[in-house]
A and B are shown apart, each in its own frame.
Chain A
């Protein structure tokens, strides 16, 4: 598991670099090299590390370990074919990490990021609807069962397309520089990450890299099916590039607009679920 964790971290950081590069090229800028985020993480690992004097010191440090811990756990659940509900749980608990990170420092910028994180809680609701839609088709929330279902009946991407769109939106809402990235907007410096520097930032970069890897892997696994690793990485890359296109051409929404968009999507999906329930009995 540890070699795979290191591999997933490396790929996740590389994906972050590719994400930045694609956005830059679409916007007519040269952009950083694709390994920039790997260099960032290494750089932060060896920089001077401190905890702000005003911070809640234990919480300030603990959230970094929680971030790495929950996404490592999510990767294990995904690879072992565990419960999709656990993955859903980790996604929701990531909100606590974002929130704790911002509040623990005492910085006003961190606090604004944390409050925006609370406001953007509506982004979890489409995932809930996705989980229910998948359950209605497969009658199981075990990832192994969902993969087996797709081997028999074909990809869920086709039969449960609206659920796939919802999951895509969920991944988009967690991407850097995206329309929903209000918690790290530049008008509040780096938002909830403002005060986390040095090793703490490196730890967060590792946690976020794992998050990106897990979410992209989960999307492919849940809506296309199990693929050989090389092909899986290629499809994940294609999904990532499509997300980068959306991030490059969409301005960041205001906090309340993000809630509106996500709530509208959730409303549309609830109607889809009701129709599914009626049709499928």
Chain B
């Protein structure tokens, strides 16, 4: 046990997973987020997409869209990749790893809808891609400022008393994660939900919300 120094925020440390000097940790909080990401990744693996019902313009007719198997496979692959990146971000004990996983989530989010052949969806994916890419500047900038000012990116060190992390670095981290899909930047991806494939589209939102929840724990703990 490494004695997580922030028991009064995310709860007591339950389990650690060491990769050399990178030590991931499970507290009640991070374990709950990890479990939730795992559930929705499993759902993306086992679920088939819905057949969207659209109403024909100018009458009472409606039709149900068919499921494109090739599209399904690609969306499922990207949703699983997104789920794995989210799982990594949830228990990461290192700020740089967290930012890497966050940017990977942004990339896979675009991938989930990029193969869908609809002008509105592709436009939204393009706009969201720009926002997500711009957001990586404050995201990695925040991590860089933390490293420059404290000499470490390990959360185990940063969460300890006496280590002062500049508030601008915390703000950059939050803004960077918000750019991956939280309010108010989510408006860029509202049209993404037109795309078929609910279990995969849902991963876009699951990953964004979970990333936001994790970054809040990180900035409060530092």
A232 to B51 CA separation, bound complex (whole angstroms): 47
Is B28 in the interface zone, CB < 8 Å from A? Answer: yes
Residues B23-64 near A (CB distance < 8 A): 28-29, 32-33, 36, 39-40, 43, 46-55, 64
Nearest-Cβ distance from residue A222 to partner chain B, whole angstroms: 15
Nearest-Cβ distance from residue B44 to partner chain A, whole angstroms: 9
> B217 near A62 (CB under 8 angstroms)?
no
Is B175 in the interface zone, CB < 8 Å from A? Answer: no
Chain B residue nearest to A141 in the complex (CB): B9
Residues A111-133 near B (CB distance < 8 A): 111, 114-115, 118-119, 121-122, 124-125, 128, 131-132
Of the candidates B40, B48, B183, which one forms a contact with A122 in the assembled complex, judged by CB atoms under 8 Å apart?
B183
Nearest-Cβ distance from residue A195 to partner chain B, whole angstroms: 10
- By secondary structure, the A interface counts as helix
A55 to B48 CA separation, bound complex (whole angstroms): 9
Is A105 in the interface zone, CB < 8 Å from B? Answer: yes
Chain B positions within 8 Å of A, measured between CB atoms, are: 7-11, 28-29, 32-33, 36, 39-40, 43, 46-55, 64, 182-184, 186-187, 190, 193, 198-199, 201-202, 205-206, 209, 212-213, 216-217, 220
Nearest-Cβ distance from residue B12 to partner chain A, whole angstroms: 10
> B198 near A100 (CB under 8 angstroms)?
yes
> B55 near A108 (CB under 8 angstroms)?
yes
Chain A interface bracket (under 10, 10 to 19, 20 to 34, 35 or more): 35 or more
- By secondary structure, the B interface counts as helix
Chain A residues near B40 (CB-CB < 8 A): 96
> A142 near B32 (CB under 8 angstroms)?
no
Chain B residues near A135 (CB-CB < 8 A): 220
Chain B residue nearest to A101 in the complex (CB): B198
Chain B residue nearest to A139 in the complex (CB): B8
> A56 near B9 (CB under 8 angstroms)?
no
Apart from A99-B202, A140-B8, 16 more pairs, CB < 8 Å: A54-B50, A56-B50, A56-B199, A60-B50, A85-B29, A85-B213, A89-B33, A89-B213, A93-B209, A96-B40, A96-B206, A103-B202, A105-B50, A106-B52, A124-B183, A125-B183
Chain B residue nearest to A104 in the complex (CB): B198
Chain A residues near B55 (CB-CB < 8 A): 108
> B53 near A106 (CB under 8 angstroms)?
yes
> B220 near A132 (CB under 8 angstroms)?
yes
Nearest-Cβ distance from residue B152 to partner chain A, whole angstroms: 23
